[in-house]
Amino acid sequence: MTRIDTLLAEMTLAEKLGQLTMTASGYAVTGPIIVGDSSESIADGTLGNLLNMVGPGPTREMQDLAKQSRLGIPLLIGLDIVHGHRSLFPIPLAEMAAFDPALWEQTAREAAREAAADGLAMTFAPMLDVSRDPRWGRTAEGPGEDAWLGARMAETKVRGFQTADLSSPDALAACAKHFCAYGPVNAGREYAAVDISERTLHEVHLPPFEAAVKAGVATIMPAFTDLNGIPMTAHGPLLRDYLRGQLGFDGVIVSDYNAIGELIKHGVAEDLPAAAALALQAGVDIDMMADGYRKGLPVALERGLVTMAQIDTAVRRVLRLKEQLGLFDDAYARGATQERPEAIAGRRALARTVATRSITMLKNESQALPLAPSLRRLCVLGPLADAAEEMRGPWWAAGVAENHVSVLAGLSAGLPGVEIHYASGVGIRDDDANGITAALELSEGADAILLCLGEAANMSGEAASRAYPELPGQQRALAMAAFEQGRELGIPVIVLLFSGRPLIIPELAEQADALLACWFLGCEAGHAIADVLSGRVSPSGRTPMSWPRALGQVPIFFGQRPTGRPENPADYYTSKYLDVPNDPLYPFGHGLSYTQFAHHDLRVSPLVAGEHDHIEVQIEVTNYGEHEAIETLFLFTRDKVASVTRPLLELRAFGKLSLPAGESGTLNLSFPASAMRFLGADLKPVFEPGEIEILIGPSADRAQLMVQSIQLQA
């Protein structure tokens, strides 16, 4: 008999259901707070999992309580460590702009180390929801608009959080969330129903989760949402049949917060027992915060809606996860050793590097940037300049404002000898514009105006959909006044834009001399911004989402399917808007540096490829500017004729080259020809012979892509 078999044989129903329950908790001066529950539940073995308890002391105290219980089963304690724990990195959408899988894995690894030192064994990350709608606030947490990129995020984050040995004291169980297709909520409204085609489900929203399962993710969290009429928390075909049956996922499925109870509001369950039965039958193992399993399953058993065998299967998976994490061997290993100061310092250095690499320069005209070495006086305006707490982004885990560097603090430290005159001018979202005039007076005698504009951290993330995803409050008025002042004084106006999504910002795009998407950059935000503005580091970030010109273009993304009437200005009856061009303001992959690159001599081999070949691509890159910088190039394919319509562009690979001024280098990219398999009319994978275009360039702007055709043969 294994340890788990022995335990299972001894466990009462209440103890079994305790292992299937996860309760939110916290630690106040008065001691532990277990939301709607009690620490007695831990001591009597009827609560087996916690979220949001942080710190070696509190977690040790909770593990002590569990150890005193009849069977002494250790607690699983988790937290939303989405982009760092105490030392926050840029939000995931920002980090994707670095287009650097090694960095993505490294930040997850460092976050896991820091969280494990705080006694945690699980994170509710990576969030893998592909989003093409900036109205949806959770766009901030995810991989952006592309499924292939989402899959790369999945595998790097799972490896980073979990390592190859989940029992390691600095490993965390990762949680691929929110399964699945949460991004296309109706009208971009949070928690709204989702209605998409089976094809879009399989081509866009499942691949990142498939990659997470292949990477060995320990847990998965279903989305709150209703997908095509079935709430994900009760979605047997996708949880049981696809995840567990087809992909062979045998880890733990943990519900989202109260999602089991919400099946009643979805209208698929009369009461809690019915809701609990639906979730258990679909394959959900842990009930987070609905108390549906503890209160509902005993009744569901009596009603014959579920069997003890189904309960045992779920308990077995939870106990196995705790065993894989090493919790039975030593529940105190995580949190046992304090981190050394140099480890924390190294982590912040990494955060600074990742932040500089995430900054995406969308515009830079008349050499506004880098700041001239002769610059002596800088006028800094806007509500995001002195806002350390906002740099954290919407999921700040244990990150506190005190250890975040604001823009102002970063500029003061990073621009020695420069006089900085600052005024907020306006708030982030209030309607008071009375401070604009006085603020602008600070620009007299200045060499440049720096505007720090955008959203508050909690204006993106969960429950933060925006029908007008643009500059909030009176910030636009401040910007327009600053542009006018800049023109009058003949000085550049540089905009730093902080947001958890692309914003609709036509005036900034038109009138700013330079415009940088700073997203939310984490604990080293200010230092990273100063590194870039000063020219010490050239910006290299590339946007992982298309930026709409107008909200009316949404959803806008590079992987759109063709139309039978492609836009043609010479023909009125073609696909267009009367009032805005079809293309995005900034395409996927767009991002400027302080230099200029030329791309030439594209070579592709083989020119005729079978399914088992690898397509190798080489291209020469020359830095013909004055600054060292990193170039990122994307490799897309276009399958022009197939048995179903195929996207206009599909991302297959990307690569980077760091080149000093004047230097050239060769970028090698490759992808398996088997990647050209697609879902035929019956949604079954097919590999079809025919011409394929290979397209290479700095963004999804087709006009910037070099093209070479090859032939696929059966």
Strand 664-672 versus strand 614-623 pairing type: antiparallel
Identify the CA nearest to 545 among candidates 501, 482, 479, 577.
Answer: 501
Residue 540 and residue 491: Cα distance in Å, rounded?
25
By C-beta, is 257 or 687 nearer to ligand GLC? 257
Select the residue interacting with ligand GLC from 105, 155, 170, 462 (CB under 6 A).
462
HSE-CB for 315 with a 13 A CA cutoff? 29
Q: Does 226 participate in binding ligand GLC (rule CB under 6 A)?
A: no
Residue 693 and residue 364: Cα distance in Å, rounded?
32
3 state SS for 458-516: HHCCCCCCCCCCCCCCCHHHHHHHHHHHHHHHCCCEEEEEECCCCCCCHHHHHHCCEEE
Q: How far is the CB of 22 from ligand GLC (least distance, A)?
A: 9
By C-beta, is 50 or 633 nearer to ligand GLC? 50
By C-beta, is 177 or 638 nearer to ligand GLC? 177
Q: Does 157 participate in binding ligand GLC (rule CB under 6 A)?
A: no
Q: How far is the CB of 286 from ligand GLC (least distance, A)?
A: 12
Q: How far is the CB of 51 from ligand GLC (least distance, A)?
A: 6
Q: Which residues of 130-159 are buried (b: 16+ CB within 10 A; e: fewer)?
A: bbbbbbbbbbbbbbbbbbbbbbbbbbbbbb
Beta partners for residue 515, in sequence order: 363, 495
Q: What angle do CA 256, 261, 267 make, to 5 degrees?
A: 115
By C-beta, is 254 or 497 nearer to ligand GLC? 254
Q: Does 179 participate in binding ligand GLC (rule CB under 6 A)?
A: no
Select the residue interacting with ligand GLC from 99, 104, 124, 209 (CB under 6 A).
124
Select the residue interacting with ligand GLC from 177, 317, 363, 404 (CB under 6 A).
177
List active site positions: 256
Phi-psi region of 109 (alpha: psi -120 to 50; beta: other; left: phi over 0): alpha
By C-beta, is 382 or 393 nearer to ligand GLC? 393
Range 594-653, binding ligand GLC (CB under 6 A)? none
Q: Does 256 participate in binding ligand GLC (rule CB under 6 A)?
A: yes
Q: How far is the CB of 80 from ligand GLC (least distance, A)?
A: 5
Q: How far is the CB of 514 from ligand GLC (least distance, A)?
A: 35
Is the sign of the CA dihedral 39, 42, 47, 50 positive or negative? positive
Pattern 370-409, ligand GLC, x by CB under 6 A: ----------------------------------------
SS3 337: coil
Q: How far is the CB of 550 from ligand GLC (least distance, A)?
A: 29
Q: Does 447 participate in binding ligand GLC (rule CB under 6 A)?
A: no
Residue 140 and residue 351: Cα distance in Å, rounded?
18
By C-beta, is 49 or 632 nearer to ligand GLC? 49
Q: How far is the CB of 102 from ligand GLC (least distance, A)?
A: 26
**Using an 8 Å Cβ cutoff, are 355 and 404 in contact?**
no
By C-beta, is 16 or 178 nearer to ligand GLC? 178
Q: What angle do CA 167, 169, 171 make, to 5 degrees?
A: 70
Q: Does 257 participate in binding ligand GLC (rule CB under 6 A)?
A: yes
Q: Which residue is nearest to ligand GLC (CB)?
A: 124
By C-beta, is 82 or 423 nearer to ligand GLC? 82
Q: Does 80 participate in binding ligand GLC (rule CB under 6 A)?
A: yes
Q: How far is the CB of 462 from ligand GLC (least distance, A)?
A: 5
**Using an 8 Å Cβ cutoff, are 160 and 109 in contact?**
yes
Pattern 47-66, ligand GLC, x by CB under 6 A: ----x---------------
Q: How far is the CB of 259 from ligand GLC (least distance, A)?
A: 8
- The helix (H) or strand (E) run that includes residue 555 is none
CB atoms within 10 A of CB 548: 24
Q: How far is the CB of 124 from ligand GLC (least distance, A)?
A: 3
Range 186-215, binding ligand GLC (CB under 6 A)? none
By C-beta, is 234 or 481 nearer to ligand GLC? 234
By C-beta, is 81 or 529 nearer to ligand GLC? 81
Residue 648 and residue 394: Cα distance in Å, rounded?
33
User: Which DSSP category does 267 fall into?
Assistant: T
Q: How far is the CB of 77 from ligand GLC (least distance, A)?
A: 12
Residue 404 and residue 526: Cα distance in Å, rounded?
8
In 55-99, which ranges are continuous DSSP H helix? 56-68, 92-96
By C-beta, is 325 or 657 nearer to ligand GLC? 325
DSSP string, 217-257: -SEEEE-SSEETTEEGGG-HIIIIIIIIIIS---SEEB--T
Q: Binding residues for ligand GLC, how many (CB under 6 A)?
A: 7
**Using an 8 Å Cβ cutoff, are 447 and 491 in contact?**
yes
Residue 543 and residue 99: Cα distance in Å, rounded?
9
**Using an 8 Å Cβ cutoff, are 659 and 695 in contact?**
no
Give contact residues for ligand GLC (rule: CB under 6 A).
51, 80, 124, 177, 256-257, 462
